Structure 1
Protein backbone atom coordinates (compact mmCIF):
# COMPACT_ATOMS: atom_id res chain seq x y z
CA UNK A 1 0.00 0.00 0.00
CA UNK A 2 2.30 2.76 -1.22
CA UNK A 3 1.96 6.19 0.33
CA UNK A 4 -0.42 4.88 2.99
CA UNK A 5 0.50 5.19 6.65
CA UNK A 6 -1.51 2.19 7.82
CA UNK A 7 -0.85 2.85 11.50
CA UNK A 8 -2.01 6.45 11.29
CA UNK A 9 -5.10 5.67 9.23
CA UNK A 10 -6.12 2.81 11.53
CA UNK A 11 -5.69 5.14 14.51
CA UNK A 12 -7.97 7.67 12.84
CA UNK A 13 -10.54 4.98 12.03
CA UNK A 14 -10.46 3.96 15.70
CA UNK A 15 -11.04 7.57 16.75
CA UNK A 16 -14.07 7.72 14.47
CA UNK A 17 -15.42 4.49 15.95
CA UNK A 18 -14.77 5.80 19.47
CA UNK A 19 -16.81 8.91 18.66
CA UNK A 20 -19.67 6.81 17.31
CA UNK A 21 -19.97 4.52 20.33
CA UNK A 22 -21.55 6.87 22.89
CA UNK A 23 -23.98 8.24 20.32
CA UNK A 24 -25.16 4.76 19.39
CA UNK A 25 -25.48 3.64 23.01
CA UNK A 26 -27.37 6.81 23.93
CA UNK A 27 -30.15 5.74 21.56
CA UNK A 28 -30.03 1.93 21.76
CA UNK A 29 -33.01 0.30 23.52
CA UNK A 30 -34.67 3.64 24.26
CA UNK A 31 -37.76 3.34 22.09
CA UNK A 32 -36.36 5.96 19.74
CA UNK A 33 -38.33 7.39 16.84
CA UNK A 34 -37.93 5.54 13.56
CA UNK A 35 -38.41 7.17 10.16
CA UNK A 36 -38.77 5.29 6.90
CA UNK A 37 -36.87 6.30 3.78
CA UNK A 38 -38.97 6.46 0.62
CA UNK A 39 -38.73 2.96 -0.88
CA UNK A 40 -40.84 -0.02 -1.83
CA UNK A 41 -39.48 -1.96 1.16
CA UNK A 42 -39.37 -0.65 4.74
CA UNK A 43 -35.98 1.06 5.06
CA UNK A 44 -35.66 2.52 8.56
CA UNK A 45 -33.43 5.37 9.66
CA UNK A 46 -33.04 6.75 13.18
CA UNK A 47 -31.56 9.79 14.87
CA UNK A 48 -28.62 7.58 15.83
CA UNK A 49 -27.84 6.95 12.13
CA UNK A 50 -27.92 10.65 11.35
CA UNK A 51 -26.02 11.81 14.43
CA UNK A 52 -23.22 9.27 14.04
CA UNK A 53 -22.63 10.08 10.40
CA UNK A 54 -22.69 13.81 11.11
CA UNK A 55 -20.12 13.40 13.89
CA UNK A 56 -17.80 11.25 11.78
CA UNK A 57 -18.03 13.67 8.87
CA UNK A 58 -17.16 16.57 11.14
CA UNK A 59 -14.09 14.76 12.49
CA UNK A 60 -12.93 13.86 8.98
CA UNK A 61 -13.37 17.44 7.80
CA UNK A 62 -10.85 18.43 10.45
CA UNK A 63 -8.42 15.50 10.21
CA UNK A 64 -8.55 14.66 6.48
CA UNK A 65 -10.07 17.60 4.59
CA UNK A 66 -8.70 16.34 1.25
CA UNK A 67 -10.35 12.92 1.59
CA UNK A 68 -13.77 12.09 0.22
CA UNK A 69 -16.63 10.77 2.35
CA UNK A 70 -19.37 8.39 1.24
CA UNK A 71 -22.07 7.61 3.79
CA UNK A 72 -25.60 6.29 3.84
CA UNK A 73 -27.34 9.35 5.27
CA UNK A 74 -25.79 12.36 3.50
CA UNK A 75 -24.66 13.24 0.01
CA UNK A 76 -21.19 12.15 -1.01
CA UNK A 77 -18.30 14.53 -0.38
CA UNK A 78 -15.83 14.26 -3.25
CA UNK A 79 -12.20 14.57 -2.17
CA UNK A 80 -8.95 15.43 -3.91
CA UNK A 81 -6.61 12.90 -2.29
CA UNK A 82 -7.78 9.77 -4.11
CA UNK A 83 -9.00 8.32 -0.82
CA UNK A 84 -12.56 8.07 0.43
CA UNK A 85 -13.96 7.15 3.82
CA UNK A 86 -17.01 4.92 3.43
CA UNK A 87 -19.36 4.90 6.42
CA UNK A 88 -22.45 3.04 7.49
CA UNK A 89 -23.34 4.70 10.82
CA UNK A 90 -25.66 1.88 11.90
CA UNK A 91 -25.53 -1.26 9.78
CA UNK A 92 -28.49 -3.34 10.83
CA UNK A 93 -30.93 -0.58 11.73
CA UNK A 94 -33.75 -3.15 11.91
CA UNK A 95 -31.80 -5.00 14.62
CA UNK A 96 -31.03 -1.69 16.32
CA UNK A 97 -34.68 -0.69 16.60
CA UNK A 98 -35.58 -4.21 17.77
CA UNK A 99 -33.05 -3.97 20.62
CA UNK A 100 -30.88 -6.78 19.21
CA UNK A 101 -27.08 -6.39 19.57
CA UNK A 102 -26.13 -7.48 16.03
CA UNK A 103 -25.94 -3.99 14.49
CA UNK A 104 -22.51 -2.47 13.85
CA UNK A 105 -20.80 0.78 12.96
CA UNK A 106 -18.88 0.33 9.70
CA UNK A 107 -15.88 2.49 8.75
CA UNK A 108 -13.63 1.83 5.74
CA UNK A 109 -10.90 3.73 3.94
CA UNK A 110 -10.96 3.30 0.16
CA UNK A 111 -8.21 3.95 -2.34
CA UNK A 112 -8.83 4.19 -6.09
CA UNK A 113 -9.31 0.41 -6.37
CA UNK A 114 -11.42 -0.25 -3.28
CA UNK A 115 -11.10 -0.67 0.48
CA UNK A 116 -7.68 -0.66 2.13
CA UNK A 117 -8.49 -0.99 5.84
CA UNK A 118 -11.56 -0.95 8.02
CA UNK A 119 -13.33 -1.33 11.34
CA UNK A 120 -16.49 -3.25 12.21
CA UNK A 121 -17.49 -1.94 15.64
CA UNK A 122 -20.19 -3.26 17.98
CA UNK A 123 -20.57 -0.65 20.74
CA UNK A 124 -22.98 -2.61 22.95
CA UNK A 125 -20.75 -5.68 23.29
CA UNK A 126 -17.55 -3.63 23.08
CA UNK A 127 -16.17 -5.72 20.22
CA UNK A 128 -14.04 -4.02 17.58
CA UNK A 129 -12.96 -5.95 14.50
CA UNK A 130 -10.23 -4.28 12.44
CA UNK A 131 -8.61 -5.37 9.21
CA UNK A 132 -5.99 -4.48 6.61
CA UNK A 133 -6.77 -5.79 3.15
CA UNK A 134 -5.28 -9.26 2.57
CA UNK A 135 -2.79 -8.75 5.40
CA UNK A 136 -4.21 -9.03 8.91
CA UNK A 137 -7.31 -8.75 11.06
CA UNK A 138 -7.81 -8.64 14.79
CA UNK A 139 -10.42 -8.30 17.53
CA UNK A 140 -10.12 -5.84 20.40
CA UNK A 141 -12.39 -6.51 23.36
CA UNK A 142 -12.22 -5.83 27.09
CA UNK A 143 -8.65 -4.57 26.89
CA UNK A 144 -7.29 -7.51 24.91
CA UNK A 145 -6.30 -7.83 21.28
CA UNK A 146 -6.18 -11.09 19.38
CA UNK A 147 -5.55 -12.00 15.74
CA UNK A 148 -8.46 -13.29 13.69
CA UNK A 149 -8.45 -16.32 11.40
CA UNK A 150 -11.31 -17.88 9.53
CA UNK A 151 -12.12 -21.53 10.23
CA UNK A 152 -9.82 -23.84 8.28
CA UNK A 153 -10.68 -27.16 6.71
CA UNK A 154 -14.27 -26.33 5.72
CA UNK A 155 -14.45 -27.22 2.04
CA UNK A 156 -17.98 -28.61 1.59
CA UNK A 157 -21.34 -26.87 1.89
CA UNK A 158 -22.47 -29.84 3.99
CA UNK A 159 -19.93 -28.90 6.68
CA UNK A 160 -20.59 -25.16 6.65
CA UNK A 161 -22.42 -22.71 8.89
CA UNK A 162 -24.22 -20.41 6.43
CA UNK A 163 -25.71 -16.99 7.12
CA UNK A 164 -27.68 -14.28 5.40
CA UNK A 165 -29.47 -11.31 6.90
CA UNK A 166 -32.90 -12.38 5.65
CA UNK A 167 -33.60 -15.12 3.07
CA UNK A 168 -36.81 -13.24 2.26
CA UNK A 169 -34.74 -10.52 0.61
CA UNK A 170 -33.83 -12.86 -2.24
CA UNK A 171 -36.29 -13.16 -5.11
CA UNK A 172 -36.64 -15.22 -8.26
CA UNK A 173 -33.52 -17.08 -9.36
CA UNK A 174 -31.51 -15.64 -6.47
CA UNK A 175 -33.97 -17.17 -4.01
CA UNK A 176 -33.84 -20.53 -5.78
CA UNK A 177 -30.03 -20.63 -5.72
CA UNK A 178 -29.82 -19.58 -2.09
CA UNK A 179 -32.45 -22.13 -1.09
CA UNK A 180 -30.55 -24.98 -2.73
CA UNK A 181 -27.28 -23.92 -1.11
CA UNK A 182 -28.66 -23.25 2.35
CA UNK A 183 -30.67 -26.47 2.48
CA UNK A 184 -27.43 -28.37 1.97
CA UNK A 185 -25.61 -26.57 4.79
CA UNK A 186 -24.93 -27.98 8.25
CA UNK A 187 -26.30 -24.91 10.07
CA UNK A 188 -28.19 -21.79 8.95
CA UNK A 189 -28.23 -18.56 10.97
CA UNK A 190 -30.14 -15.43 9.92
CA UNK A 191 -30.53 -11.80 10.94
CA UNK A 192 -26.92 -10.86 11.69
CA UNK A 193 -26.22 -8.10 9.12
CA UNK A 194 -22.52 -7.10 9.15
CA UNK A 195 -21.96 -9.01 12.38
CA UNK A 196 -22.07 -12.25 10.35
CA UNK A 197 -18.91 -11.19 8.51
CA UNK A 198 -17.18 -10.43 11.80
CA UNK A 199 -18.19 -13.89 13.00
CA UNK A 200 -16.77 -15.39 9.81
CA UNK A 201 -13.46 -13.60 10.37
CA UNK A 202 -13.42 -14.92 13.95
CA UNK A 203 -13.80 -18.54 12.85
CA UNK A 204 -17.50 -19.05 13.61
CA UNK A 205 -19.69 -18.61 10.53
CA UNK A 206 -18.23 -20.17 7.36
CA UNK A 207 -20.28 -18.64 4.55
CA UNK A 208 -22.24 -15.36 4.21
CA UNK A 209 -24.44 -14.71 1.18
CA UNK A 210 -26.19 -11.39 0.50
CA UNK A 211 -27.64 -9.33 -2.34
CA UNK A 212 -28.84 -5.79 -2.95
CA UNK A 213 -26.06 -4.19 -0.90
CA UNK A 214 -24.62 -0.68 -1.24
CA UNK A 215 -20.98 0.39 -1.02
CA UNK A 216 -21.42 1.54 2.60
CA UNK A 217 -22.82 -1.90 3.49
CA UNK A 218 -19.78 -3.78 2.20
CA UNK A 219 -16.70 -1.55 2.41
CA UNK A 220 -15.73 -2.38 5.99
CA UNK A 221 -16.37 -6.10 5.55
CA UNK A 222 -13.73 -6.72 2.91
CA UNK A 223 -10.48 -5.86 4.79
CA UNK A 224 -11.64 -7.72 7.91
CA UNK A 225 -12.64 -10.91 6.08
CA UNK A 226 -9.66 -10.93 3.70
CA UNK A 227 -7.26 -9.97 6.49
CA UNK A 228 -8.45 -13.00 8.47
CA UNK A 229 -7.74 -15.31 5.54
CA UNK A 230 -11.24 -15.47 4.09
CA UNK A 231 -12.41 -14.91 0.53
CA UNK A 232 -14.95 -12.17 -0.24
CA UNK A 233 -16.25 -11.37 -3.73
CA UNK A 234 -19.43 -10.84 -5.69
CA UNK A 235 -21.36 -13.87 -7.01
CA UNK A 236 -19.24 -13.87 -10.17
CA UNK A 237 -16.04 -14.09 -8.17
CA UNK A 238 -15.06 -10.49 -8.86
CA UNK A 239 -14.61 -7.37 -6.70
CA UNK A 240 -17.57 -6.58 -4.46
CA UNK A 241 -16.63 -3.19 -3.00
CA UNK A 242 -19.30 -1.30 -4.94
CA UNK A 243 -22.11 -3.42 -3.49
CA UNK A 244 -24.66 -5.72 -5.09
CA UNK A 245 -24.32 -9.46 -4.57
CA UNK A 246 -21.86 -10.53 -1.87
CA UNK A 247 -20.27 -13.88 -1.04
CA UNK A 248 -17.82 -14.37 1.84
CA UNK A 249 -16.28 -17.72 2.67
CA UNK A 250 -13.88 -19.10 5.25
CA UNK A 251 -11.81 -21.03 2.68
CA UNK A 252 -11.12 -20.82 -1.07
CA UNK A 253 -12.55 -24.31 -1.58
CA UNK A 254 -15.84 -23.44 0.10
CA UNK A 255 -15.99 -20.19 -1.82
CA UNK A 256 -15.57 -22.05 -5.13
CA UNK A 257 -18.38 -24.48 -4.30
CA UNK A 258 -20.71 -21.65 -3.32
CA UNK A 259 -19.91 -19.77 -6.54
CA UNK A 260 -20.92 -22.83 -8.56
CA UNK A 261 -24.30 -23.01 -6.83
CA UNK A 262 -24.95 -19.26 -7.11
CA UNK A 263 -23.76 -18.96 -10.72
CA UNK A 264 -27.23 -19.19 -12.34
CA UNK A 265 -28.28 -15.99 -10.52
CA UNK A 266 -24.96 -14.13 -10.64
CA UNK A 267 -25.03 -10.74 -12.30
Structure 2
Protein backbone atom coordinates (compact mmCIF):
# COMPACT_ATOMS: atom_id res chain seq x y z
CA UNK A 1 0.00 0.00 0.00
CA UNK A 2 1.34 3.43 -1.00
CA UNK A 3 2.08 5.82 1.84
CA UNK A 4 2.84 9.51 1.44
CA UNK A 5 6.05 10.68 3.10
CA UNK A 6 5.65 12.05 6.62
CA UNK A 7 6.57 15.68 7.05
CA UNK A 8 9.21 16.26 9.73
CA UNK A 9 8.95 18.82 12.49
CA UNK A 10 12.15 20.40 11.19
CA UNK A 11 10.63 20.93 7.75
CA UNK A 12 7.42 22.35 9.22
CA UNK A 13 9.43 24.82 11.28
CA UNK A 14 11.47 25.86 8.26
CA UNK A 15 8.33 26.40 6.19
CA UNK A 16 6.68 28.36 9.00
CA UNK A 17 9.63 30.71 9.37
CA UNK A 18 9.69 31.37 5.63
CA UNK A 19 5.93 31.95 5.48
CA UNK A 20 6.06 34.36 8.41
CA UNK A 21 8.91 36.34 6.87
CA UNK A 22 7.32 36.50 3.40
CA UNK A 23 3.91 37.50 4.78
CA UNK A 24 5.44 40.19 6.97
CA UNK A 25 7.36 41.71 4.07
CA UNK A 26 4.34 41.63 1.78
CA UNK A 27 2.15 43.12 4.50
CA UNK A 28 4.58 45.98 5.00
CA UNK A 29 4.68 46.61 1.26
CA UNK A 30 0.90 46.71 1.04
CA UNK A 31 0.44 48.85 4.14
CA UNK A 32 3.25 51.34 3.56
CA UNK A 33 3.38 51.34 -0.23
CA UNK A 34 -0.30 51.87 -1.02
CA UNK A 35 -0.48 54.81 -3.43
CA UNK A 36 -3.01 57.53 -2.72
CA UNK A 37 -4.36 57.17 -6.26
CA UNK A 38 -4.60 53.36 -6.18
CA UNK A 39 -6.64 52.12 -9.12
CA UNK A 40 -7.85 48.87 -10.63
CA UNK A 41 -5.18 47.19 -12.77
CA UNK A 42 -7.38 44.38 -14.14
CA UNK A 43 -10.63 42.53 -13.61
CA UNK A 44 -11.17 38.78 -13.22
CA UNK A 45 -14.54 37.02 -13.18
CA UNK A 46 -16.62 40.21 -13.53
CA UNK A 47 -16.15 44.02 -13.64
CA UNK A 48 -16.40 44.16 -9.82
CA UNK A 49 -13.86 41.36 -9.22
CA UNK A 50 -10.72 43.46 -9.33
CA UNK A 51 -6.93 43.28 -9.17
CA UNK A 52 -4.77 46.25 -8.21
CA UNK A 53 -1.13 46.91 -8.98
CA UNK A 54 -0.41 46.15 -5.32
CA UNK A 55 -1.85 42.61 -5.57
CA UNK A 56 0.63 41.98 -8.37
CA UNK A 57 3.55 43.57 -6.53
CA UNK A 58 2.87 41.60 -3.35
CA UNK A 59 2.68 38.27 -5.19
CA UNK A 60 5.93 39.06 -7.02
CA UNK A 61 7.60 39.80 -3.68
CA UNK A 62 6.36 36.58 -2.04
CA UNK A 63 7.12 34.27 -4.94
CA UNK A 64 10.56 35.76 -5.42
CA UNK A 65 11.34 35.43 -1.71
CA UNK A 66 10.27 31.77 -1.61
CA UNK A 67 11.84 30.80 -4.93
CA UNK A 68 15.20 32.20 -3.84
CA UNK A 69 15.19 30.08 -0.67
CA UNK A 70 13.40 26.93 -1.89
CA UNK A 71 13.60 26.95 -5.69
CA UNK A 72 12.38 23.37 -6.16
CA UNK A 73 9.04 23.87 -4.36
CA UNK A 74 5.74 24.25 -6.16
CA UNK A 75 3.81 27.52 -6.17
CA UNK A 76 0.13 28.39 -6.64
CA UNK A 77 -0.78 32.07 -6.44
CA UNK A 78 -3.96 34.01 -7.07
CA UNK A 79 -2.36 36.37 -9.55
CA UNK A 80 -0.92 33.70 -11.81
CA UNK A 81 2.01 31.97 -10.10
CA UNK A 82 1.91 28.26 -10.91
CA UNK A 83 4.88 25.89 -10.64
CA UNK A 84 4.73 22.14 -10.09
CA UNK A 85 7.88 21.67 -8.02
CA UNK A 86 9.71 18.46 -7.14
CA UNK A 87 9.95 18.46 -3.32
CA UNK A 88 6.36 17.62 -2.36
CA UNK A 89 6.00 21.14 -0.95
CA UNK A 90 3.62 23.58 -2.60
CA UNK A 91 3.09 27.17 -1.49
CA UNK A 92 -0.49 28.43 -1.85
CA UNK A 93 -0.48 32.22 -1.87
CA UNK A 94 -3.08 34.95 -1.76
CA UNK A 95 -0.97 38.12 -1.76
CA UNK A 96 -3.93 40.35 -0.92
CA UNK A 97 -7.13 38.75 0.34
CA UNK A 98 -9.78 41.44 0.55
CA UNK A 99 -8.74 43.47 -2.49
CA UNK A 100 -11.94 45.51 -2.64
CA UNK A 101 -11.54 46.46 1.03
CA UNK A 102 -7.95 47.48 0.29
CA UNK A 103 -9.01 49.49 -2.77
CA UNK A 104 -11.53 51.43 -0.66
CA UNK A 105 -9.21 51.94 2.31
CA UNK A 106 -11.07 49.53 4.59
CA UNK A 107 -8.86 47.68 7.11
CA UNK A 108 -10.09 44.09 6.74
CA UNK A 109 -7.57 42.55 4.35
CA UNK A 110 -4.61 40.24 4.72
CA UNK A 111 -1.77 38.27 3.19
CA UNK A 112 -2.38 34.52 3.19
CA UNK A 113 0.39 31.94 2.73
CA UNK A 114 0.03 28.19 3.23
CA UNK A 115 2.55 25.42 2.70
CA UNK A 116 1.22 22.03 1.62
CA UNK A 117 3.15 18.79 1.80
CA UNK A 118 1.95 16.15 -0.65
CA UNK A 119 -1.41 17.90 -0.84
CA UNK A 120 -2.03 18.48 2.88
CA UNK A 121 -1.67 21.91 4.48
CA UNK A 122 1.06 21.78 7.14
CA UNK A 123 1.68 25.51 7.69
CA UNK A 124 -0.64 28.50 7.49
CA UNK A 125 0.08 32.19 8.00
CA UNK A 126 -2.30 35.13 7.67
CA UNK A 127 -0.83 38.60 8.13
CA UNK A 128 -3.40 41.34 8.87
CA UNK A 129 -1.31 44.54 8.81
CA UNK A 130 -4.06 47.04 9.65
CA UNK A 131 -4.87 45.01 12.77
CA UNK A 132 -1.21 44.60 13.65
CA UNK A 133 -1.86 40.85 13.92
CA UNK A 134 -0.19 37.73 12.55
CA UNK A 135 -2.03 34.41 12.75
CA UNK A 136 -0.18 31.17 12.20
CA UNK A 137 -0.56 27.44 12.61
CA UNK A 138 1.46 24.29 12.10
CA UNK A 139 -0.35 20.99 11.64
CA UNK A 140 -0.54 19.34 15.05
CA UNK A 141 0.91 22.37 16.82
CA UNK A 142 -2.11 24.57 17.48
CA UNK A 143 -3.02 28.01 16.15
CA UNK A 144 -1.49 31.23 17.38
CA UNK A 145 -1.71 34.99 17.16
CA UNK A 146 1.78 36.12 17.99
CA UNK A 147 2.68 34.11 21.07
CA UNK A 148 -0.93 33.66 22.26
CA UNK A 149 -2.63 30.35 21.53
CA UNK A 150 -5.99 30.60 19.82
CA UNK A 151 -9.19 28.73 20.65
CA UNK A 152 -12.55 28.90 18.95
CA UNK A 153 -15.59 29.98 20.94
CA UNK A 154 -17.24 27.81 23.55
CA UNK A 155 -20.33 25.81 22.52
CA UNK A 156 -23.39 27.94 21.84
CA UNK A 157 -26.87 27.33 20.47
CA UNK A 158 -27.27 28.45 16.88
CA UNK A 159 -29.62 31.29 17.80
CA UNK A 160 -26.78 32.83 19.82
CA UNK A 161 -24.14 32.41 17.10
CA UNK A 162 -22.50 35.29 15.24
CA UNK A 163 -21.85 34.01 11.71
CA UNK A 164 -19.93 35.61 8.86
CA UNK A 165 -20.31 35.00 5.16
CA UNK A 166 -19.17 36.39 1.84
CA UNK A 167 -20.63 37.01 -1.60
CA UNK A 168 -19.20 36.19 -5.00
CA UNK A 169 -18.71 38.62 -7.86
CA UNK A 170 -20.95 36.88 -10.41
CA UNK A 171 -24.40 38.44 -10.28
CA UNK A 172 -26.29 35.14 -10.55
CA UNK A 173 -24.31 33.69 -7.65
CA UNK A 174 -24.77 36.79 -5.50
CA UNK A 175 -28.54 36.70 -5.92
CA UNK A 176 -28.74 33.12 -4.67
CA UNK A 177 -26.26 33.82 -1.84
CA UNK A 178 -28.55 36.62 -0.69
CA UNK A 179 -31.45 34.15 -0.63
CA UNK A 180 -29.38 31.73 1.46
CA UNK A 181 -28.42 34.50 3.89
CA UNK A 182 -32.08 35.49 4.21
CA UNK A 183 -32.87 31.93 5.29
CA UNK A 184 -30.00 31.77 7.76
CA UNK A 185 -30.27 35.15 9.48
CA UNK A 186 -33.52 34.42 11.38
CA UNK A 187 -31.83 31.36 12.90
CA UNK A 188 -28.65 33.02 14.23
CA UNK A 189 -27.72 35.96 16.44
CA UNK A 190 -26.56 38.01 13.44
CA UNK A 191 -24.58 37.88 10.22
CA UNK A 192 -21.40 39.75 9.31
CA UNK A 193 -19.74 40.30 5.94
CA UNK A 194 -16.08 41.18 6.44
CA UNK A 195 -14.77 40.94 2.90
CA UNK A 196 -11.73 38.73 3.47
CA UNK A 197 -12.15 34.97 3.72
CA UNK A 198 -8.69 34.53 5.25
CA UNK A 199 -9.41 37.05 8.00
CA UNK A 200 -12.88 35.61 8.64
CA UNK A 201 -11.41 32.12 9.12
CA UNK A 202 -8.88 33.54 11.55
CA UNK A 203 -11.67 35.31 13.43
CA UNK A 204 -13.35 31.93 13.88
CA UNK A 205 -10.04 30.63 15.24
CA UNK A 206 -9.73 33.61 17.58
CA UNK A 207 -13.26 33.26 18.96
CA UNK A 208 -14.43 36.51 17.37
CA UNK A 209 -16.98 34.64 15.28
CA UNK A 210 -18.93 31.48 16.01
CA UNK A 211 -18.88 30.47 12.37
CA UNK A 212 -18.23 31.42 8.76
CA UNK A 213 -19.48 30.02 5.47
CA UNK A 214 -19.06 30.91 1.81
CA UNK A 215 -19.41 29.42 -1.66
CA UNK A 216 -16.96 30.06 -4.48
CA UNK A 217 -13.62 30.30 -2.68
CA UNK A 218 -10.38 29.32 -4.38
CA UNK A 219 -7.56 27.28 -2.81
CA UNK A 220 -5.53 30.40 -2.06
CA UNK A 221 -8.48 32.02 -0.25
CA UNK A 222 -8.83 29.25 2.31
CA UNK A 223 -5.65 27.14 2.54
CA UNK A 224 -4.01 29.02 5.42
CA UNK A 225 -7.18 30.09 7.23
CA UNK A 226 -8.71 26.63 7.14
CA UNK A 227 -5.66 25.15 8.88
CA UNK A 228 -5.58 27.97 11.44
CA UNK A 229 -9.27 27.46 12.26
CA UNK A 230 -8.88 23.68 12.62
CA UNK A 231 -5.83 24.02 14.82
CA UNK A 232 -7.85 26.35 17.07
CA UNK A 233 -10.45 23.63 17.61
CA UNK A 234 -12.99 24.62 14.97
CA UNK A 235 -14.51 22.14 12.58
CA UNK A 236 -14.16 22.86 8.87
CA UNK A 237 -15.77 21.26 5.86
CA UNK A 238 -18.20 21.74 3.02
CA UNK A 239 -21.32 19.74 2.28
CA UNK A 240 -22.01 16.91 4.76
CA UNK A 241 -19.15 14.42 4.68
CA UNK A 242 -17.02 16.57 2.37
CA UNK A 243 -13.97 18.75 2.82
CA UNK A 244 -13.99 22.51 2.40
CA UNK A 245 -13.80 23.39 -1.29
CA UNK A 246 -14.94 25.92 -3.84
CA UNK A 247 -18.39 24.36 -3.65
CA UNK A 248 -18.79 25.37 0.00
CA UNK A 249 -16.59 26.31 2.95
CA UNK A 250 -17.88 26.14 6.51
CA UNK A 251 -15.78 26.76 9.63
CA UNK A 252 -17.33 26.95 13.08
CA UNK A 253 -17.10 25.88 16.66
CA UNK A 254 -18.21 22.22 16.83
CA UNK A 255 -21.70 22.85 18.19
CA UNK A 256 -22.45 25.61 15.67
CA UNK A 257 -20.98 23.53 12.84
CA UNK A 258 -23.33 20.66 13.68
CA UNK A 259 -26.36 22.96 13.59
CA UNK A 260 -25.38 25.19 10.68
CA UNK A 261 -24.20 22.60 8.17
CA UNK A 262 -27.63 20.97 7.62
CA UNK A 263 -29.26 24.40 7.30
CA UNK A 264 -26.77 25.39 4.59
CA UNK A 265 -27.39 22.09 2.83
CA UNK A 266 -31.16 22.62 2.93
CA UNK A 267 -30.79 26.22 1.75
CA UNK A 268 -28.63 25.16 -1.22
CA UNK A 269 -25.60 27.20 -0.16
CA UNK A 270 -23.46 24.86 -2.25
CA UNK A 271 -24.90 25.86 -5.64
CA UNK A 272 -25.76 29.01 -7.58
CA UNK A 273 -29.53 28.68 -7.68
CA UNK A 274 -32.11 26.64 -9.55
CA UNK A 275 -30.37 27.13 -12.88
CA UNK A 276 -27.35 25.24 -11.53
CA UNK A 277 -29.33 22.13 -10.54
Give me the TM-score of the superposition, normalised by structure 2. 0.86
Structure 1 CA distance for aligned equivalents of residues 41 and 127 of structure 2: 23
The aligned residue for residue 159 of structure 1 is 160
How many Å separate the matches in 2 of 1:21 and 1:219?
A: 18
Task: List alignment gaps of at least 5 residues for structure 2.
Answer: 1-5, 272-277
Please give the secondary structure, in 2, of the residue aligned with 1:220.
helix
Query: Secondary structure of 2:108's partner?
Result: coil
- Secondary structure of residue in 2 paired with 1:238: coil
Q: What is the match of residue 39 of structure 1?
A: 45
Cα pair distance change 1:213/1:41, threshold 3 Å: farther
| Pick aligned residue for 2:65 from 53, 59, 66 | 59
Which residue pairs with 2:233 in the alignment?
229
Segment drifting more, 255-264 vs 92-101: 255-264
Output the TM-score relative to the length of structure 1. Answer: 0.89
Matches of 1:48 and 1:167, distance apart in 2 = 21
Contact 1:167 1:175 in 2 (8 A): no
Q: Can you list the C-alpha shifts for 1:9-32, whole angstroms capped at 9, x where unaligned?
A: 111111111221221013447231
After superposition, residues 136-175 of structure 1 pair within 5 angstroms as: 136-140=142-146, 145-154=147-156, 156-166=157-167, 170-171=173-174, 175=178
The answer to whether the 8 Å contact 2:168/2:215 transfers is: no
CA contact (8 A) 1:177 1:261 kept: no
2:199 paired with 1:183? no
Does the 8 A contact of 1:86 with 1:219 survive in 2? yes
Classify the secondary structure of the residue corresponding to 1:219. Answer: helix
Alignment check: 8 A CA contact 1:163 1:196 kept: yes
**Counterpart residue number, 1:206:** 210
> Using the alignment, how far apart are the partners of 2:114 and 2:184 within structure 1?
30
CA RMSD of aligned residues (A): 2.1
Q: Distance in 2 between matches of 1:47 and 1:116?
A: 30
